[in-house]
Amino acid sequence: MSWSDRAQLYRDSVAHREGEDLDLIVEWAKGARTALDVATGGGHVARRLREVGAEVVSCDPAPGMQPDVLCRAEDMPFADGSFDVVVSRVAAHHFEDVKAAVVEMARVSGDRVLVVDNLYMDDAAEAADKVRDPSHVRNYSEGDWRELFESAGLLVDEVRRFEKPIEFEPWIERSGSSVAESAQVRALLADRIEDGWITLDRIAIRGLRSRNEEP
């Protein structure tokens, strides 16, 4: 199943449509007039930021996600410092070159870069992600994220970690996993599944452009 084929599932997904992490993005983006939603997926970040008055451009490489601009996070067609805030929510684990993507996000940001993503938990969880969705590249630790931001010239201003409960069966269905793949994922994540829900570790990180640099 391609990303375009999955698009409506992500638009309808309660796990993506709401959550503590999405509320935090809105809080951290306060005061931004312009925003870029990188790898917009179901468009939930763009929707929430538009609701609070920001002028938002969304981008994604999958046409079915209906972004304003079709592009990869690693190669965005925007001028330096084009947006007050640049956001990517629960997408970076799919980026082929996450370091290049963070550098690009920093480049097109005039003020803030906000990233929310699942945290690296253990090798079993990584194996489960790859079985569930072959487009998964990897999750990263908090230390990895701090290094990625700092190497892109961003000052890490705040980091929050939290647990994200997700209903297991819809989570599997969104990726188009077969019955056999679903069973394998369930076995790999058995210690994290309870009453039909899986709990993922998630990180939110806010980086600021140096005040000594021009965008």
DSSP string, 142-161: HHHHHHHHHHTTEEEEEEEE
| Closest-CA residue to 128 (of 170, 86, 183) | 183
Q: Tokens standing for 171?
A: 């989570």
Region 109-120 average pLDDT: 97
For residues 10 and 94, what is the distance between their CA atoms, to the nearest angstrom? 15
Per-residue pLDDT, averaged over 78-87, amounts to 98
Cα distance between residue 44 and residue 146, in whole Å: 25
Query: pLDDT-based confidence at 6, cuts 50/70/90?
Result: low
83 phi and psi angles, rounded to 5 deg: -130, 145
Token pair for 124: 């079993």
Letter string b/e over residues 40-55, b meaning 16 or more CB atoms within 10 A of that residue's CB: bbbbbbbbbbeeeebe
User: Taking each helix axis from N to C terminus, what angle separates 179-188 and 123-132, rounded to the nearest 10 degrees?
Assistant: 170
- Where is pLDDT greater, at 123 or 175? 123
d(CA 66, CA 144): 31
Average pLDDT over every residue of 194-198: 93
- Reported as a pLDDT band with limits 50, 70 and 90, residue 7 is low
Mean pLDDT over residues 115-120, rounded? 97
- In terms of C-beta density within 10 A (0-12 exposed, 13-18 middle, 19 or more buried), how is residue 199 classed? middle
Q: Give the residue with greater pLDDT, 165 vs 210.
A: 165
pTM of the predicted model, to two decimals? 0.91
Pick the more confident residue, 87 or 171.
87
- Domains in the chain and their CATH numbers? 3-121+133-167+201-209 (3.40.50.150)
Model pLDDT for residues 135-188, shown as the tens digit of each residue? 899 999 999 999 999 999 999 999 999 998 989 998 888 888 889 999 999 999
Side-chain-side CA neighbours of 193 within 13 Å: the count stands at 16
Predicted confidence band of residue 214 (pLDDT cuts 50, 70, 90): very low
φ/ψ bin of 53: left (φ > 0), alpha (ψ from -120 to 50), beta (otherwise): left
What pLDDT score does 215 carry? Answer: 42
| Model confidence band, residue 19 (pLDDT cutoffs 50, 70, 90) | confident
Model confidence at 125, in pLDDT bands (50, 70, 90)?
Answer: very high
For the stretch 23-79, pLDDT in tens is 999 999 999 999 999 999 989 999 999 999 999 999 999 998 999 999 999 999 999
Residue 193's DSSP bridge partners are 198
Out of 8-12, 114-118, 176-180, pick the least confident: 8-12
